[in-house]
């Protein structure tokens, strides 16, 4: 996380720096940068100008000052940075974290590891649809509270404003995973203290960069900046410059692309909702969705991810395998490809059958991430394949 100027030559395209070592003018300059890495570049793990340009851009997207973003090697490394930093003894916060169980399977599994193998209490909120349940979980104290909204893969929506208020009542931070809906939802403006992204997904949109980010509000930074800076560098949870570069190249169309993802996903969701072979469609901007009113309050549109339930696991298996216009792959937010997956056996396979059923990921559930292309072919193929099930 740097505040230094990026490009002395003012290239129009963000310059790509792949070098990992930077020459000092003097011993004194080297000592100053090692003392405060925000003052310049020394070594790739301590900062890189292309990654700084990415961090500055993302700070602007979220309306926070430069220096409020930590770019990381993946979304999961942003989560582990958060965990290491906020549960550090030196911060003096409770060694206890409160988590919504409705999260990406990899995040869930990382938190299972923290819970099973480390000296920290990891509390999963019993029923995240009940504010009472949130309050009960947060009240004994927490280093931070973590939720994902919209959720992957069930597209549930949680009330950021109200949960942030509960978190603040008990003197903790609310961190929101906004991976599915960058720019369509502004968690910091709704009262959250930090945002977590898998940059790999909708922020990059071209499947060309694995990355993550943590973005803090001024209040969050005031307490955690020094510690998180230290853990960022010391654990090596840093973003590769190529991931930063490719994501920056695609920056200008982010808003427009997110709106098009939303329009495409809504179109597909509406068609699926009317299909006799589909039991239930999960998309927050369907007026029939239980999440619709809240989604409209806290998001401008729903993003490119939807999921739906068929009548049987066998039907789900056949559908994801047969479609030609959607590729069977574990990823979301790609602008060129429709991507389909069976979450229970892949992205969420580390959850036990009981855990899966608790978060309503059934064997019949299929997740679909739409591209920015025309939806006609996908829609007619879905109809054809569904009719055969």
Instruction: Tell me which residues touch ligand PLP (CB under 6 A).
Output: 74-76, 104, 106-107, 148, 152, 177, 179, 198, 200, 210, 212
The values of phi and psi at residue 103, to 5°, are: -135, 165
Q: Which residues pair with 365 in a beta bridge?
A: 309
Q: How far is the CB of 63 from ligand PLP (least distance, A)?
A: 21
**DSSP assignment string, 98-125:** EE-S-S-HHHHHHHHHHHHHSSSEEEE-
CA angle 357, 322, 364 (to 5 degrees): 15
Q: How far is the CB of 177 from ligand PLP (least distance, A)?
A: 5
* Distance in angstroms between the alpha carbons of the first and the last residue of the chain: 52
Q: How far is the CB of 220 from ligand PLP (least distance, A)?
A: 19
**Within 13 Å, how many C-alpha atoms sit on residue 164's CB side?**
17
**Within 13 Å, how many C-alpha atoms sit on residue 100's CB side?**
25
Closest to ligand PLP by CB, 134 vs 197, is 197
Q: How far is the CB of 386 from ligand PLP (least distance, A)?
A: 26
Number of residue whose CB is nearest ligand PLP: 75
Closest to ligand PLP by CB, 55 vs 148, is 148
Q: How far is the CB of 240 from ligand PLP (least distance, A)?
A: 12
Closest to ligand PLP by CB, 202 vs 386, is 202
Closest to ligand PLP by CB, 143 vs 239, is 239
Closest to ligand PLP by CB, 273 vs 355, is 355
Strand ranges in the chain using DSSP code E only, listed in sequence order: 69-72, 96-99, 121-124, 144-148, 174-177, 194-198, 212-216, 280-282, 305-309, 327-328, 339-341, 365-369
Q: How far is the CB of 365 from ligand PLP (least distance, A)?
A: 15
Closest to ligand PLP by CB, 6 vs 332, is 332
Count Cβ neighbours within 10 Å for each residue of 298-308 and write b for 16 or more, e otherwise: bbbbbbbbbbb
């Amino acid at each position: 996380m740097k505040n230094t100027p990026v490009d002395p030559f003012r290239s129009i395209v963000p310059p790509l720096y792949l070098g990992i070592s930077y020459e000092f003018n003097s011993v004194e300059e080297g000592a100053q940068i090692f003392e405060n890495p925000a003052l310049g570049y020394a070594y790739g793990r301590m900062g890189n100008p292309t990654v700084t340009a990415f961090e500055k851009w993302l700070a602007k997207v979220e309306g926070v000052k430069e220096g409020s973003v930590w770019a990381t090697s993946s979304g999961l490394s942003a989560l582990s940075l958060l965990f290491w930093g906020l549960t550090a003894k030196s911060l003096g916060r409770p060694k206890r974290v409160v988590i919504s169980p409705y999260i990406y399977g990899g995040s869930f599994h990382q938190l299972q590891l923290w819970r099973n193998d480390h000296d920290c209490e990891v509390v999963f909120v019993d029923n995240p649809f009940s504010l009472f349940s949130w309050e009960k979980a947060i009240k004994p104290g927490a280093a931070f509270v973590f939720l994902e909204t919209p959720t992957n893969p069930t597209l549930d929506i949680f009330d950021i404003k109200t949960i942030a208020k509960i978190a603040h009542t008990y003197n903790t931070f609310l961190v929101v995973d906004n991976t599915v809906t960058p720019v369509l939802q502004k968690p910091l403006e709704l009262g959250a203290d930090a945002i977590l992204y898998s940059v790999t997904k909708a922020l990059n949109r071209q499947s060309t960069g694995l990355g993550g980010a943590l973005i803090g509000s001024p209040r969050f930074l005031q307490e955690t900046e020094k510690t998180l800076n230290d853990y960022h560098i010391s654990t090596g949870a840093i973003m590769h410059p190529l991931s930063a570069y490719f994501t920056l190249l695609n920056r200008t169309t982010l808003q427009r692309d997110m709106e098009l993802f939303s329009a495409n996903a809504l179109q597909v969701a509406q068609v699926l909702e009317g299909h006799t072979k589909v039991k239930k469609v999960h998309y927050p901007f369907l007026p029939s969705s239980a999440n619709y009113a809240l989604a409209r309050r806290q998001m401008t549109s729903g993003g490119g991810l939807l999921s739906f339930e068929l009548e049987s696991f066998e039907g789900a298996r056949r559908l994801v395998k047969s479609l030609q216009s959607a590729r069977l792959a574990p990823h979301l937010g790609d602008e060129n490809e429709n991507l389909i997956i069976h979450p229970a056996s892949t992205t969420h396979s580390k959850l036990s059958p009981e855990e899966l059923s608790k978060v309503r990921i059934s064997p019949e559930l299929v997740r679909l991430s739409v591209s920015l292309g025309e939806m006609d072919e996908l829609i007619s193929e879905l109809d054809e394949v569904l009719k055969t099930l």
